[in-house]
Amino acid sequence: MGPEQYIRLSQLNDQIQDTINARFKGQTYWVVADITNHSFKADKKIHYFELVEKSTSSSAITAKILGKSWGAGALKILDFEITTGQRFTNNLHVLVQVSVDYHPLYGLSVNLLDIDSNFMLGILEQQRNAKLARLVRDNDFIYKEGELYSTLNSRLKLPAVIQRVAVISSSSSAGNEDFRHTMQHNDFRYVFQIDDYHTVVQGDNNAKLFLNKLIEVYNTGIPYDAVVIARGGGSQSDFLIFDNYNIGRAVAKFPIPVITGIGHQKNVSITDLMAHTHTKTPTKAAEFIIAHNRSFEQHILSLQRTIAMKSQQLFLGYYKELSGLKSIISHNARELIAGQKEELLLQKQHISQASRNMLAKEKQNLLLSAQKTLQRPQSIIQQQKSDLEYLKGSLKIFTSQYLRSRRLQLEDHQKTIKLLSPQNVLKRGYAVIRKNSKIVNGAENIQEGEEIEILVKDAILKSTVNEKIQYDGKHTDL
């Protein structure tokens, strides 16, 4: 071969460039391919990558070409990342608009002019829907209710108060720090025990590590009230781990309520749907737990107010009833005493009148006897004397028996009055409570730590109230 038969490489490349430009100039193509070997020059805002096509059966690469994008194309990539929440990087299956370019120095490549966001969203949604359908189909503890999913975990009942929490997060997660700060500096001064279980929480290829950490929480045997999955913001690809089938299944079956706060603002992940409760961020997860505890506290405070009100009403009712009984007893006692007094006066008058009549009669008899005595012999005088003595004895016996009967009746009334007196009430085991030298009828004005006086039958006891227990008055051992 002679020297006149060769050309320079640049001449050959120029001819190739002219041929390619003549064939592809002004033409664009929508191409489906995968991204590999991606790099981004931030200072120049240029993306470099390769577009590859893989065999559906063996995943072997069947076609490959260099690609780049800058200017308007780089802005389209930025729009794609904002729209999909997916960072433009390796292993993406994309639909892109390209033009063919050949450079004598850098060779054949394509320029990325546009990228279809809907294509990417459709792929992600298809993959996600397929996993959700498989979860329902293959697991009897997961079923769909309308647009929501009911799982073994979501059907668990949260404890009335959440105090002990296991947190699965990255060791360097800012979201975990936000969660802790919100929990530890809550406005209600609730105290929580938070145990960290650090692992990798991004990238679908780290799903096994995440599952192992979830199993570790279960194997500790610690009775956690809830498990929180905390993760800060990130790209769509960073969250692919939470669309993993095995993680979704494990969360759905986990025996402790799972609360997610993985910082995913646009969509709800499969893990979110399988968990007991999902929130948008770790901070929102903390706020949910605090609000849950606050709801319980408000319920208890409401019950406390209701009990206090009912107790006051009950005590007031019994106080009024006792006051009424006191008035009735006092009134009946006064009437009884007045009646007995009047009866005693009548008996006294009757006895006095009967005595006077009897004495007058006997006096008359004596006068007659005296006259007869003067007229009769001594035997008659003696007989009359005997009769007089008999009459005198009978009068004493009658008077004594009558007065004793009335005295016994009077004593019965006095005993009845004494039984109703405060002294006898104390002797039967009851006591009177005084505060500041005043008798109190209930416990509403007595507080713990105050001094009171307890009057019993033979002493005054001074005491300090150590504990005050509400009493409804329905059950008693008195």
What are 286-295's pLDDT values in tens digits?
999 999 999 9
**Which pLDDT band holds residue 474 (cuts at 50, 70, 90)?**
low
pLDDT at 264 over 70: no
pLDDT score for 360? 86
Q: Specify the pLDDT at position 292.
A: 96
**Per residue in 27-63, pLDDT tens?**
999 999 999 999 999 999 999 999 999 887 777 889 9
| Residues 439 and 432: beta-carbon distance below 8 Å | yes
Q: Is residue 126 part of a domain?
A: no
Q: What is the pLDDT of residue 195?
A: 96
**pLDDT reported for residue 298:** 94
Among all chains, which residue has been given the structure tokens 């809830």? 226
Strand, coil or helix: 357: helix
Q: What is the CATH number of the domain that holds 239?
A: 3.40.50
Does the pLDDT at position 1 exceed 60?
no
The tokens for 36 are 């590999």
Q: What is the mean pLDDT of the chain?
A: 86
Verdict on whether the full-model pTM lies above 0.85: no
Residue numbers of the domain that contains 275: 139-280
**pLDDT at site 114:** 94
Residue 262 and residue 326 in one domain: no
- Residue 129 in any domain: the answer is no
pLDDT of the residue at 473: 64
pLDDT (tens digit, 9 = 90+) per residue, 53-73? 988 777 788 999 999 999 999
User: What's the rounded Cα separation, in Å, for the pair 166 and 195?
Assistant: 5
What distances in angstroms separate CA 313 from CA 104, 176, 323, one per listed residue?
A: 99, 50, 15
CA distances from 296 to 249, 292, 302 (A): 31, 7, 10
Residue scoring higher pLDDT (168 or 376):
168
Angle between helices 207-219 and 245-253 (to 10 degrees): 20
Distance of CA 210 to the CA centre of its chain: 30
pLDDT at position 180:
93
Q: Residue 371: pLDDT above 90? A: no
Same domain assignment for residues 345 and 226? no
Beta bridge partners, 455, equal: 432, 460
Residues 328, 372 share a domain: yes
The amino acid at residue 416 is: T
Q: What is the pLDDT of residues 335-344, one digit of tens each?
A: 888 888 888 8
Do residues 128 and 61 lie in contact, with contact meaning Cβ atoms separated by under 8 Å? Answer: no
Q: Which pLDDT score is estimated for 376?
A: 66
Determine the Cα–Cα distance for residues 334 and 339; give it in Å rounded to an integer: 8
Q: How confident is the model at residue 83 (pLDDT cuts 50, 70, 90)?
A: confident
Q: At what angle do helices 72-84 and 117-138 cross, to 10 degrees?
A: 30
Q: How many domains does one find in the chain?
A: 4
Q: What is the pLDDT of residue 276?
A: 96
- For residue 279, count CB atoms less than 10 angstroms from its CB and return exposed for 0-12, middle for 13-18, buried for 19 or more: buried
Last residue of a domain, one of 401, 420, 439: 420
pLDDT at 425: 75
User: What pLDDT, on a 0 to 100 scale, did the predictor assign at position 257?
Assistant: 97
Please give the residue that has the higher pLDDT: either 250 or 238.
250
Range in 192-196, 231-235, 258-262, 430-434 the model is least confident about: 231-235
Are 207 and 218 members of one domain?
Answer: yes
- If pLDDT is split at 50, 70 and 90, which confidence band does 405 have? confident
CATH of the domain at 23: 2.40.50.140
Residues 272 and 316 both lie in one domain: no
pLDDT average, residue stretch 85-110: 89
* Domain co-membership, 275 together with 388: no
